[in-house]
């Protein structure tokens, strides 16, 4: 595949997304959603193939004077780094295109709702693709704003609910603040590079101070969009209220676009890395991973729980990036490249299993209209395919072999284990602490999804809508099945993916992980065979053998030893188990809540009357520590300057006079 074909496929994807947006507005209502998602599918496949072509070394670039300004043209560039994230966007959008038509079946008679969703979904995907393709700061910021505004209208889709309007406003506010930080960061690079094109910014010579200023602005701006703690407040509010296929795009893809922006800005445009930056990124990533999973454990709203797990996994990605910066800045390129590759691999993995889990949550919501774990139960019997695919997502996000989440976290641990090669004693102590926090995060994530799957899919239904749940339509199962299969393949055959990912560090640093795939598809050796190795196919064979042996033993040897007794029912006379006897999600997390209770804002009440009622509300302390003080300051300032809108003419004339005097003073 040569560069003209790659460029043509890229253009085709962008054009098809515009066609899909127009069709959503003017297309006929009858089966219109099928045609829309069909066009979206073609656009997604074109982006996927173009991104893979860039990873295979077929880069492309183009200049568009008509889309820019007379002195500032648009540049689109498809290099390996952009190609990886473009392929990621295309991959998840493909699954969403299969899932969407049946998920939106309830809106088939609402032409306005379908037009709204279709138009802004197409613009949302278009904005994300343009962000990763942008070759200059002007095109990047225009695409960034398109992505943010389109996703805002998707979040506020059910605007008749006050909570949705509040979540959408918070999301838009923080998106604009983050965009301002990014714009200022580009401004620093442009002032030293003499232009807004990325090629000019790469040639900029920055002092350590100005480089750190640019890094700080980019870290805040992109970190706010990615959902790093404590800038994550919008994420658990916006993701639950958006339609589930949009939540999959936002969590699985949009957060990775923010990661792309950070990598492009720091690793590519600044280039001259400082180890202090890595310490900041590592610390914030570690705290984000741990706090994200702890807050997820306390949630009973399934989509809100998954949103907090996005905070956790973004933290894991930034742990890898922080390690990469530390090693690269310390003159250790091989561990540094490994940290970057581990972060990129986890970007792919998180996109796969988090999109799968959000689509699974959407399937549950579609058939039972329920998001509260405490009202679920027994869904595996009613929705077997969704139960199977959701289980794959749970195992993947819990980083259990042979699924994909294990590989990227294992690569991150392998990077951290190279801390002995650093000279500073502080780094040798800090990195093991971060690795320990990552290990604790993995254990808590596994506990969280034991809770989720056990409460939602096993035992008995806790509410009438859940008892009436039925299997989802074929299209929804296809979207989930595709992602579940990819979660397994990405975990069993990691060497093939690492060969593709190797093009990114080759582009940025001229060095890759040649030893990682030196022993073929069977063995993964990140640094060398003597340091560490992992054979995922052998793990699969061993697990399959253990499972078959267990089934054979149960059927052949132990069948006569099993005795059936009535279940223990806490001393009650009835031996028939009832849904109220089941372990609840609240009870499951009670020990963890007692240990880490200081990190939450807990409101725990027991109401005693004819019935004993237990109520628990878990709040995010970030609201009280960071956001509420800012809100109070803004409200106080607004009250103080409120007299400017008093309606009195003399106040308005006085303000105009003062403005005129200030302008005359500045001009003179």
Tell me the pLDDT tens digit for each residue of 3-41.
Answer: 888 889 999 999 999 999 999 888 766 567 888 999 999
Contact by Cβ (8 Å): 289, 312: yes
Q: Residue 574 pLDDT more than 60? A: no
Mean pLDDT of the chain: 87
Average pLDDT of 117-127? 94
| Across 47-56, 488-497, 611-620, least confident range | 611-620
Sign of CA dihedral 370, 374, 378, 384: positive
State what percent of residues in the chain have pLDDT above 90.
Answer: 50
Band (98; pLDDT cuts 50, 70, 90): very high
Please report the pLDDT score of residue 647 as a whole number.
65
Rg (CA), the chain: 26
Closest CA to 50 of 108, 117, 1: 1
Q: Residue 474 pLDDT more than 80? A: yes
pTM of the model: 0.91
Q: Residue for token digits 């940025």?
A: 508
Contact by Cβ (8 Å): 391, 346: no
- Written as one string, the DSSP assignment of 131-150 is HHHB-BHHHHHHHHHHHHHH
- pLDDT of 502-532, one tens digit each? 999 999 988 888 877 777 778 888 877 777 8
Structure-model confidence comparison of residues 569 and 504, the more confident one:
504
Q: How far is CA 26 from CA 22, 111, 546, in A?
A: 6, 10, 57
CA 387 to chain centre: 22
Q: Residue 81 pLDDT more than 80? A: yes
Q: Residue 361 pLDDT more than 60? A: yes
Please report the pLDDT score of residue 340 as a whole number.
95
Return the domain boundaries, the chain: 1-200, 581-620, 625-667
- pLDDT of 475-509, one tens digit each? 999 999 999 999 999 999 999 899 999 999 999 98
Q: Residue 320 pLDDT more than 60? A: yes
Contact by Cβ (8 Å): 397, 405: yes
Average pLDDT of 465-484? 92
Closest CA to 281 of 221, 321, 335: 321
Enumerate residues 6+ apart whose C-beta is below 8 A from 353.
392, 393, 396, 397, 403, 404, 405, 483, 487
Instruction: Give the separation between CA 447 and CA 589, rounded to whole angstroms.
Output: 9
3-class secondary structure, 424? coil
| Across 222-236, 376-390, 540-554, least confident range | 540-554
Average pLDDT of 45-49? 95
Burial bucket for residue 377 (CB in 10 Å: 0-12, 13-18, 19+) = buried
Please report the pLDDT score of residue 204 as a whole number.
86
């Amino acid at each position: 595949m040569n560069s003209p074909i790659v460029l043509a496929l890229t253009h085709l994807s962008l054009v098809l997304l515009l066609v899909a947006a127009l069709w959503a507005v003017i297309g006929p209502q009858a089966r219109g959603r099928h045609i829309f998602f069909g066009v979206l599918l073609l656009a997604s496949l074109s982006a996927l193939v173009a991104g893979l072509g860039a990873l295979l070394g077929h880069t492309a670039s183009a200049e568009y004077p008509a889309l820019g300004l007379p002195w500032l043209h648009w540049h689109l560039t498809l290099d390996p780094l952009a190609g990886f994230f473009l392929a990621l966007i295309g991959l998840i959008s493909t699954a969403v295109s299969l899932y969407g038509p049946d998920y939106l079946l309830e809106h088939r008679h609402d032409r306005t709702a379908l037009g709204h969703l279709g138009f802004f979904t197409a613009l949302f995907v278009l904005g994300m693709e343009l962000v990763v393709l942008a070759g200059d700061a002007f095109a990047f910021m225009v695409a960034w704003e398109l992505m943010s505004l389109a996703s805002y209208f998707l979040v506020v889709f059910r605007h008749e609910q006050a909570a949705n309007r509040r979540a959408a406003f918070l999301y838009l506010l923080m998106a604009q603040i983050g965009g301002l930080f990014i714009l200022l960061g580009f401004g620093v690079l442009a002032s030293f590079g003499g232009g807004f094109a990325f090629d000019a910014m790469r040639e900029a010579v920055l002092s350590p101070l100005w480089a750190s200023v640019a890094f700080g602005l980019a870290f805040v701006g992109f970190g706010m969009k990615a959902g790093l703690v404590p800038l994550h407040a919008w994420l658990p509010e916006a993701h639950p209220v958006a339609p589930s296929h949009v939540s999959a795009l936002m969590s699985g893809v949009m957060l990775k676009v923010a990661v792309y922006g950070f990598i492009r800005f720091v690793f590519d445009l600044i280039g001259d890395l400082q180890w202090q930056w890595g310490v900041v990124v590592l610390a914030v990533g570690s705290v984000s991973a741990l706090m994200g999973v702890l807050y997820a454990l306390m949630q009973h709203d399934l989509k809100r729980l998954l949103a907090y797990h996005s905070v956790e996994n973004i933290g894991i990605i930034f742990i890898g990036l922080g390690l990469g910066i530390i090693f690269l800045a310390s003159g250790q390129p091989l561990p540094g490249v490994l940290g970057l590759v581990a972060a990129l691999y986890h970007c792919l993995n998180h996109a796969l299993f988090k999109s799968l889990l959000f689509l699974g949550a959407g399937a549950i919501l579609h058939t039972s209209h329920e998001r509260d774990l405490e009202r679920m139960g027994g869904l595996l019997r009613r929705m077997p395919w969704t139960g199977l695919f959701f289980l794959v997502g749970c195992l993947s996000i819990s980083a259990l072999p042979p699924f994909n989440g294990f590989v990227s976290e294992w690569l991150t641990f392998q990077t951290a284990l190279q801390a002995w090669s650093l000279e500073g004693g502080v780094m040798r102590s800090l990195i093991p602490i971060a690795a320990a926090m990552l290990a604790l995060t993995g254990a808590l994530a596994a506990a969280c999804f034991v809770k989720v799957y056990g409460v939602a899919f096993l035992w008995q239904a806790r509410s009438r809508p859940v008892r009436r749940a039925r299997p989802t339509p074929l299209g929804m199962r296809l979207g989930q099945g595709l992602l579940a299969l990819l979660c397994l393949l990405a975990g069993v055959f990691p060497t093939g993916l690492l060969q593709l990912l190797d093009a990114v560090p080759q582009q940025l640093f001229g060095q890759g992980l040649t030893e990682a795939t030196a022993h073929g598809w069977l063995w993964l050796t990140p640094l060398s065979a003597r340091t560490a190795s992992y054979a995922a196919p052998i793990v699969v064979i061993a697990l399959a053998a253990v499972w078959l042996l267990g089934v054979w033993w149960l059927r052949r040897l132990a069948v006569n030893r099993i005795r059936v007794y009535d279940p223990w029912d806490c001393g009650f006379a009835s031996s028939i188990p009832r849904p109220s006897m089941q372990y609840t999600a609240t009870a499951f997390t009670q020990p963890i809540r007692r240990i880490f209770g200081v990190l939450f804002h807990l409101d725990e009440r027991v109401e005693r009357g004819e019935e004993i009622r237990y109520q628990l509300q878990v709040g995010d302390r970030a609201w009280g520590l960071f956001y509420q003080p800012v809100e109070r300051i803004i409200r106080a300032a607004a009250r103080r300057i409120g007299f400017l809108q008093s309606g009195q003419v003399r106040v308005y004339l006085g303000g105009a006079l003062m403005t005129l005097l200030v302008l005359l003073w500045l001009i003179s």
